[in-house]
């Protein structure tokens, strides 16, 4: 069984009390609450100084049948209760490697970084594969991540892992290999405008025929654009393609 202490190492432990105005956290929580009201995704904040959840939105996807208040009170023990034990080990390794990788960037760049990965939440007989993204919200004076924001949505993948590290403005991104236990730099996929437009219109709920009408192209052309987009993104269906395009900030 994973111990909660395994989630915390020097790279993500804030030892000294952060120096801040007392209104900072209150303002931050109100801002994130506002964001949570207008998104379908689950949002929560981690306080790495107190090693607890600072805020949890009431979107049921992440709650596993609990109220947001109950999950907030559970904190890190929530992972031990609802993430399969084998995947807990994956999260511990990812936590260690991810925060060490964050530390390779300077403080300004850290605010531009995010990490994305996939794991199961299991409640009773029900299991959901989710996409979990983490990005810094507040840093300490010495560059430690003090407050992190996590965004949870349903995964478009079929398996766990698929760990990616992105930095805004960087033409490439990094994938984590659990086999070699290291980060590998990868080139960001580039799609043609027609391929992107097919994905945008599909994300809006249009059928392929409707996409063809909107773009004034033949249905065969639309199918070709879609196939090329799938090949470049390395996906098998439109849901995966849209999710991958959004993750890579392609539209």
Give the predicted TM-score (pTM) of the model. 0.85
Paired tokens of 200: 């945008």
- Is 237 in a helix, a strand, or coil? coil
Give the residue carrying structure tokens 């392609």.
250
How far is it, in rounded angstroms, from Cα 41 to Cα 112? Answer: 20
Q: Which residue has the higher pLDDT, 157 or 115?
A: 115
Q: What's the pLDDT tens digit per position in 143-176?
A: 889 999 999 999 888 899 999 999 988 888 999 9
DSSP secondary structure, 149-162, as one string: EEEEEE-SSSSSEE
Q: What is the predicted pLDDT for the residue at 246?
A: 79
Q: What is the predicted pLDDT for the residue at 56?
A: 97
Confidence band (pLDDT; 50, 70, 90) for 142? confident
* DSSP-derived pairing of the beta strands 113-123 and 42-47: unpaired
Q: What values do phi and psi take at 42, rounded to 5?
A: -85, 140
Paired tokens of 3: 């111990």
Q: What's the pLDDT tens digit per position in 214-234?
A: 999 999 999 999 999 999 988
Tell me the CA end-to-end span of the chain in Å, nearest whole number.
41
Give the residue carrying structure tokens 């249009």.
206
C-alpha torsion sign, points 162, 112, 69, 33: negative
């Amino acid at each position: 069984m994973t111990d909660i202490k395994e989630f915390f190492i020097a790279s993500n432990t804030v030892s000294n009390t952060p120096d801040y105005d007392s209104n900072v956290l209150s303002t931050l929580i109100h801002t994130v609450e506002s964001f949570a009201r207008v998104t379908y995704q689950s949002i929560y904040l981690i306080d790495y100084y107190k090693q607890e959840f600072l805020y949890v939105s009431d979107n049921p996807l992440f709650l596993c049948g609990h109220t947001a208040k109950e999950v907030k009170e559970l904190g890190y023990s929530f992972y031990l209760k609802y993430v399969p034990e084998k995947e807990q080990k994956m999260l511990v390794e990812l936590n260690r490697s991810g925060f060490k990788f964050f530390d390779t960037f300077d403080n300004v760049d850290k605010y531009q970084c995010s990490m994305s990965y996939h794991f199961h939440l299991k409640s009773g007989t029900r299991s959901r594969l989710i996409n979990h993204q983490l990005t810094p919200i507040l840093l300490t004076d010495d560059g430690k991540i003090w407050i992190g924001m996590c965004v949870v949505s349903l995964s478009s993948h079929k398996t766990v892992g698929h760990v990616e590290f992105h930095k805004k403005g960087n033409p490439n991104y990094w994938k984590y290999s659990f086999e070699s236990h290291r980060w590998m730099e990868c080139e960001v996929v580039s799609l043609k405008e027609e391929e992107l437009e097919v994905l945008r219109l599909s994300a809006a709920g249009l059928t392929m025929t409707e996409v063809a009408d909107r773009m004034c192209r033949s249905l065969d052309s639309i199918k070709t654009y879609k196939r090329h987009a799938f090949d470049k993104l390395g996906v098998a269906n439109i849901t995966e393609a849209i999710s991958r395009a959004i993750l890579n900030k392609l539209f």
